[in-house]
Amino acid sequence: MAGVQVGKRIIGADAPVTVGWENIGRVQGGPLKQAFFTYFQPVVLFALIAFWYYAPNEWALASVGIWIGLGFKVLLLALEWVNPRYRSWQLTWKEFATDLFYVGLGYTALRMISGYFGDDVMIEAIQGAMDWDKFTWFIGLPLLVQAILISMIFDFGQYWMHRGMHNWYPLWLTHAPHHYITQLNINKGAVGNPIELFLIGLGIGGFFDFLPRAFLIAGAFGMAVGTYQHINVRFNTPRWWRFIFNTTEHHSVHHAQDYEATRSNYSGTWILWDRLFGTCVDGEAELLGMEGGRRMDIGETMVFPFTQAWKDMKARREQRQGLGGASAPQLEPAE
């Protein structure tokens, strides 16, 4: 496979990846369907921003945001059936049940762990030790600016954590299970080893003070943009949106079976970070996963960082001692 040169890299040499926007599929169907799947994304985003901007204080609550989020996910699940991007990504009962298990872990076990060891706890400890108060630099700014700052600061942290996971082997071991997903569906973002999910959730936003309403507007960006990373819906996403925000197309490239393609599009919401740091690859891919698309089950996902680390250490020790044992193939070497 020849691949396509993007900067200094060849994308699509190991497995098919469509590079660029020219050959991306379009929504098929009548004018109504075309219009719906063309304007759905921006309309939802602007509607959510407007809602949180003007909602009375009694409505502007995190709990309302959670209910909106749940309702939105149900709607997106329905859209996956109506207008799938690929039939080979169709959600099955087993896949849905598996994904729901990981979502459930996020709402229960992970929440408990984060409650005692998460970024809020760490930041509070740092602030206590240094006798710092929260930085109130942003609280006087317009709400939308505050919201964009919250979203971008969090995404900046996620970008570097994610990039670190693809470049430093110990971190990669925690992230690798997430790359064994072979299709994108609405809950696939939750699939992965709990250590990785804990690490990727860490942020530095807690150091800064913002208006509560700004947090809710920032949440709208996460919900109405970040959610589309893992989804099996074909949209005619506007060009300006693709330039600013992460899309399913970008994230499918990141999950492609092609090795070089996986080393791109690290951000969660703002693809601008990837454009800024030179890791953006515009395009899309259908064939996803690792080891030719091997599916990793829940049991293996839970223990993978430890078992793989043990295998690698053993192989290296054998190599050092000159035992001649065939070294276990490294999953994906760090740079």
Residue span 28-47 as binding mask against another protein, x where in contact by CB under 8 A, dash where not:
x-------------------
Q: Interface with another protein includes 60 (CB under 8 A)?
A: yes
CA atoms within 13 A on the CB side of 238: 13
- Cβ atoms 22, 239 nearer than 8 A: no
92 binds another protein (CB under 8 A): yes
Q: Using the rule CB under 8 A, is 309 a contact of another protein?
A: no
Min dist. Cβ of residue 224 to another protein (A): 19
Query: In terms of residues, how long is the chain?
Result: 335
Residue choice 287, 290, 301, 305 for contact with another protein (CB under 8 A):
287
Q: Is 259 in the site for another protein (CB under 8 A)?
A: no
Query: What does residue 4 show for φ and ψ, rounded to 5 degrees?
Result: -125, 135
Examine residue 208 and tell whether it contacts another protein (CB under 8 A).
no
According to the binding rule CB under 8 A, does residue 248 interact with another protein? no
First to last CA, the chain: 23
Distance, C-alpha 31 to centroid of its chain: 31
Rounded to whole angstroms, how far apart are CA atoms 143 and 55?
Answer: 13
CB nearer to another protein: give 303 or 334. 303
26, 33, 316, 317: residue in contact with another protein (rule CB under 8 A): 26
* Site mask for another protein (CB under 8 A), range 112-151, x = bound: x--x-----------------------xxxxx--------
Does 240 help bind another protein (rule: CB under 8 A)? Answer: no
Q: Does 322 bind another protein (CB under 8 A)?
A: no
Shortest Å, Cβ 48 to another protein: 15
Alpha carbons 37 and 79: distance in angstroms, whole number? 10
The Cα 124–Cα 7 span in angstroms is 42
Minimum distance of another protein from residue 86's CB (angstroms) = 5
> Does 324 help bind another protein (rule: CB under 8 A)?
no
Residues forming a β-bridge with 4: 11
C-alpha 157, offset from chain centre: 12
> Please, are residues 257 and 15 in contact by the beta-carbon 8 Å criterion?
yes
For residue 146, which of 211, 59, 102 has the smallest C-alpha distance? Answer: 211
Q: Does 85 bind another protein (CB under 8 A)?
A: yes
Q: Is residue 22 a contact point for another protein (CB under 8 A)?
A: no
Q: Which stretch binds another protein (CB under 8 A): 86-94, 243-251, 274-282, 319-327?
A: 86-94
Least Å distance, CB 143 to another protein, is: 5
Q: Is 294 one of the binding residues for another protein (CB under 8 A)?
A: yes
Instruction: Determine which helix (DSSP H) or strand (DSSP E) holds 9, and give its type and residue range.
Output: strand 9-11
Is residue 307 a contact residue for another protein (CB under 8 A)?
no
Please give the Cα distance from 252 to 230 (Å, whole number): 8
Q: Out of 2, 107, 321, 326, point to the residue binding another protein (CB under 8 A).
A: 107
Cα dihedral sign, 110-116-120-125: negative
Interaxial angle between packed helices 143-165 and 31-54, expressed in degrees from 0 to 180 and rounded to the nearest 10: 110
Return the residue matching tokens 């994610």.
162
Encoded tokens for 259: 């090795």
Q: What residues make contact with another protein under the rule CB under 8 A?
A: 15-16, 18, 25-28, 53-57, 60, 84-88, 90, 92-98, 100-101, 104, 107-109, 111-112, 115, 139-143, 182-183, 211-213, 234, 285-287, 293-298, 300
